[in-house]
Amino acid sequence: MALLYERESYKLRGLWMKVYNNLGPGLKESIYANAFEELLKQEKVPYQREPNLTVRFNGRKVGDYRPDFLVYGKIIVELKSLLQNPRTQIQRIYQYLKASKYKLGFMVNFGCPNLQIIRRIYDKNQIR
């Protein structure tokens, strides 16, 4: 079975590694977001920063949320700079996917001594 959005995921991982290797851990989240955005522009990767995404329930709009990035028009990205394993943030990315039309999301934590990249998939037809 092929990895969902394999080429795009590989590219994004490389960009996050570049940011982390250059800046190191523990800075403010906004600094990492700005650096990531610079690399997206440089590499001509299509993205939106903090897009307004609609949350639906029973086919009706019940709210909005704003992930840090929507990349390639199909991958939600949340960036964090936390010292500990961000379990609630990991659950949040899953909930964003569940409430939207998107299937793949990443939570990237730059705050730990080692870069944390958590990948979550939500497919309404096949929950994993």
Calculate the alpha carbon distances from 112 to 54, 83, 118 in Å.
31, 5, 13
Banded model confidence at residue 72, pLDDT cuts 50, 70, 90: very high
Smallest Cα–Cα separation from 34: which of 86, 97, 89, 42?
A: 42
Task: Evaluate whether residue 126 is within a structural domain.
Answer: no
Provide the domain count of the chain: 1
Quick one: pLDDT at residue 88? 74
Q: What is the mean pLDDT of residues 19-39?
A: 97
Task: Evaluate whether residue 93 is within a structural domain.
Answer: yes
What does the alpha-carbon distance between residue 51 and residue 94 come to, in Å, rounded to a whole number? Answer: 17
pTM comes to: 0.90
Find the domain containing 26 and state its range. Answer: 6-121
Quick one: pLDDT at residue 128? 44
Task: Evaluate whether residue 128 is within a structural domain.
Answer: no
